[in-house]
Structures are given as structure tokens and as C-alpha cells.
Amino acid sequence: MTVSFIHLLPLLLSVAAAAFRHHTPATFNVLSYGALPNRITDSTKAFLGAWYDACGREGGGRVLVPQGTYMIDSVVFAGPCKGPIDFIIKGSLEASSNPKKFFVDHWIGFRYVDRLRVGGGGFLLGHGGAAWHHNDCATNSRCRPLPVTMRLDFVTNSIISDIRSINSKNSHFNLFACHNLNMSNIRISAPEDSPNTDGIHIGSSTKIKIRDSMISTGDDCISILSGSHDIEVTRVHCGPGHGFSIGSLGGSHFKEFVTGIVIRNSTLHGTQNGLRIKTWAPSMPSLASDIIFDDIIMVDVSNPIFIDQQYCPRPPCNLKAQSKVRIKNVTFRKVRGTSSSKVAVKIQCSKHVPCQGINLVNINLAYRGPEGQVESSCFNVQGKSIPKVKTS
């Protein structure tokens, strides 16, 4: 007996619809838990209520934040959950501008969650302008850090996308001990003089991908710290800010490492640094290796290529000390554009452990200042340039 596709089509559509209904997560709307989008009422308990029910539902759930502006205090959305969980922000979340609530670790936290998806096109309003003048970390080693806007700790197999973070009090996003996490279509903004407002801060994390995002802030656009491996950054626009940074490394009393980093197809505009690897001196023996910067456009960037093994952001600094962080197998490929500093390539490595395998491939940087052509400065380094770095 022959059965035509036309006769089977209604049955196939019915099966597909049933499968879709089966996999559509139950929605937990924060309004149903008492949240008020009036910018005044503290809606933290309502958000936690929606989270607890979504997280505890067999098969997972979906927290929905409708349009409107919701004021919430420091909060942790903790797992593990009983299935995949979505946190969809259609509106805006607003942090407190009360100084009594400034000195906490984070504003919004996700912890021990697997298969998390945060998105929706909403805004995170950090109110950093009310807090930045309290930041004295540049001169006080015992300073009390301000809160990170969104902290992701032990988050795995997850997606963060279509979120806008504005005027964070500290870093906008901080990833710690995360694995297999993708970030895309993230928009980050803060004034270029806002202190310690790193865009995306990554530590002790593996298999992280960041793509198709724009970061304008007062510190590193993306900083990759110890314990991080297999990090990929693609099509990210940075500026203003301090550029893309590996490190700093060697500042603790433990061995540190960063390996397997790729940053490519990205643009830096008006940043204080471009592509930077920074290590402390003196330091514990540590490692930064297998790092690729590929197809990068510079527009009026200071220090476009910078390996700094005498990193010391605040005194006292021992300029005679040598870093013990080994830097090897680093490639800068197709880096082109304009430098706002006469010395566009600085590779300043340690006498104790000279850099090895540093490759400059198709570098073309121009300096438009009054002092003439762009220059490079390299010492304690083993590597090659293919062809010779072009200057103009």
C-alpha cells in the first residue's frame, strides 16, 4: 500500500507540534510573584520566588521579566536546577544607588547552574556613577571592591546573549570556574574614566566563546586571568577602554597559567592598550602560552601590541625584579591600522625567562603623530617577524 506525503503531512505536523509543546518550558513571570516595575519597590524577593519555582520544576523552567524597570538588591540565583532554565529579561533591572549597599561582591549572581540561558534584549542599569568616587583601589591595597554587575560562578553549558550592561560599579560580567559558555550580542558601556569597569573578566574557566559584541568601558574590554583555557573571542568591538588583556599573571602566591587563547576578527578604537599580555615582577613561576591574535584592526590605539613583564599599576614597584612567568608560542597575525603612540610594538620580556616563539606575521601599523615613523621595542625575546613589520 502506498501512502502519499500529502496524507502523512498532517500527522507529521501534529507530532512536531506535540514535541514543541513538550519542550517549551513552563513560564514563571516575576509579576505573578509581586514584582513591581516602578523603579522604587524592591522586587528581589519576587525574582527569587520565580527562580526557585522555575529551577525546582522537573524538566526546567523559564523566568520571565516583562518590560518595565525593576529595582533589585544583591541576589544569587543558585542551582543546581532540575532541568534547563531560561532567564529572559525584556525590561530593565536597576541597581541601588544607596551607598550602604555598595560594598558587596556582586549585584546579580548565577551559581552552580547547568544549561542556563540569559537573554531577552533587556538592560542591566548598574548606577556606577553614584559609586565610582568610593573606589580607592588604585591607592589602597585594602580597598573594599564595589559590586560586579553579573557574576557567573560554576555555570556550565550555557548561553548569555542579547543583554545590555550600562555603568557597572565594578566589572560588568565576571566568569569564574565556568565551562562551555557562549556569550553573544552583548553591549557594554561605561565612561572611559570609570574605574575597574572591566567588560568581561574571565578566570579559571574553559571553553568560553565571546562573539559579536560591543564593549566601551573604563578598563579592559576583556581580561583573561589564571586558570583559563580554550577561550575564543570573535568579532568584538572594543573602545574606549584598555584593550584585550591576558593577565595580569604572577601577582599571587600560587602558580598561574593561561593557555589556548584566540582573539580574532575584532576592532579596537581609541583604547589605552591594544593586545596586551601583562605579568608581575617578581612573581611565582607561571605560564602563558599558545595565544593567537589574528585579523585585528587598530584605530588610534596606544600600545597596539604590548607584552609587559614589568607590570606594576601602583607603587612601590621594584624595577630590578624579574618576572618568572614564562610566555611562549604567541602569534600576532594581520594586525593593522593606526597607533596613537610612537612605539607601536612593545615586547618587554623577562631576563629570567625570555619569551619564546613570539611570531609577528603581516603587521602593518602607522603612526600619525609629529615624531615621525612608528617604532618597535623588543628585548629578551626569541621569535620572528614575517615579513618585517611595516611602519609608516
List pLDDT tens digits, range 186-225.
Answer: 999 999 999 999 999 999 999 999 999 999 999 999 999 9
Q: Are residues 110 and 224 in the same domain?
A: no
Cα within 13 Å of Cα(162), Cβ side: 11
Q: Are residues 231 and 186 in the same domain?
A: no
Please give the pLDDT value at position 21: 41
For the chain, the domain total comes to 2
Q: Is residue 212 part of a domain?
A: no
User: 3-state SS string over the chain?
Assistant: CCCCHHHHHHHHHHHHHHHHHHHCCEEEEHHHHCCCCEEEEECHHHHHHHHHHHHCCCCCEEEEECCCEEECCCEEEECCCCCCEEEEECCEEECCCCHHHCCCCEEEEEECCECEEEECCCEEECCHHHCHHHCCCCCCCCCCCCCEEEEEECCEEEEEEEEEEECCCCCCEEEECCEEEEEEEEEEECCCCCCCCCCEEEECCEEEEEEEEEEECCCCCEEECCCEEEEEEEEEEECCCCCEEEEEECCCCCCCEEEEEEEEEEEEECCCCCEEEEEECCCCCEEEEEEEEEEEEEEEECCCEEEEEEECCCCCCCCCCCCCEEEEEEEEEEEEEEECCCEEEEEECCCCCCEEEEEEECCEEEECCCCCCCEEEEECEEEEEECCCEEC
Q: Is residue 252 part of a domain?
A: yes
Which of 153, 219, 220, 308 is catalytic? The answer is 219
Cell of 45: 524577593
Domain that residue 93 falls in: 24-198
Please give the pLDDT value at position 143: 82
Round to whole Å and give the CA distance between 211 and 9.
39
Please give the pLDDT value at position 15: 45
Please give the pLDDT value at position 10: 54
Quick check: 345 and 365 in contact, CB under 8 A? Answer: yes
Q: Are residues 167 and 275 in the same domain?
A: no
CATH number at residue 66: 2.160.20.10
Q: Is residue 30 part of a domain?
A: yes
Spatial CB neighbours of 227, under 8 Å, sequence gap ≥ 6: 203, 204, 205, 256, 257, 258
Cell of 87: 532567564
Q: Are residues 232 and 98 in the same domain?
A: no
Q: Is residue 253 part of a domain?
A: yes
Q: Are residues 186 and 230 in the same domain?
A: no
Please give the pLDDT value at position 282: 86
Q: Are residues 251 and 365 in the same domain?
A: yes
Please give the pLDDT value at position 98: 87
Q: Is residue 329 part of a domain?
A: yes
- Residue 172 is a catalytic residue: no
**Grid cell 593557555 in the structure block, residue:** 259
Cell of 84: 534547563
Among 163, 198, 233, give the residue marking a domain's end: 198
Burial class (CB in 10 A: 0-12, 13-18, 19+), 224: buried
Q: Are residues 234 and 365 in the same domain?
A: yes
Q: Is residue 13 part of a domain?
A: no
Please give the pLDDT value at position 373: 86
Please give the pLDDT value at position 387: 82
Among 144, 167, 198, give the residue marking a domain's end: 198
- Residue 230 is a catalytic residue: no
Q: Are residues 143 and 251 in the same domain?
A: no
Enumerate long-range contacts of 249-253, CB under 8 Å, 24 or more apart: 249/225, 249/278, 249/279, 249/280, 249/283, 249/286, 249/288, 249/325, 250/279, 250/280, 250/281, 250/282, 250/283, 250/284, 250/286, 250/323, 250/324, 250/325, 251/280, 251/283, 252/226, 252/284, 253/284
The pTM (predicted TM-score) of the whole model is 0.92
Low-confidence residues in the chain, pLDDT < 70: 1-23, 389-392
Q: Are residues 226 and 366 in the same domain?
A: yes
Q: Are residues 190 and 116 in the same domain?
A: yes
Please give the pLDDT value at position 7: 54
Angle at 233 between CA 200 and CA 208, to 5 degrees: 70
Q: Are residues 123 and 233 in the same domain?
A: no
Please give the pLDDT value at position 22: 45
Q: Is residue 206 part of a domain?
A: no
Q: Is residue 144 part of a domain?
A: yes
Which of 242, 253, 300, 308 is catalytic? The answer is 242
Q: Are residues 46 and 144 in the same domain?
A: yes
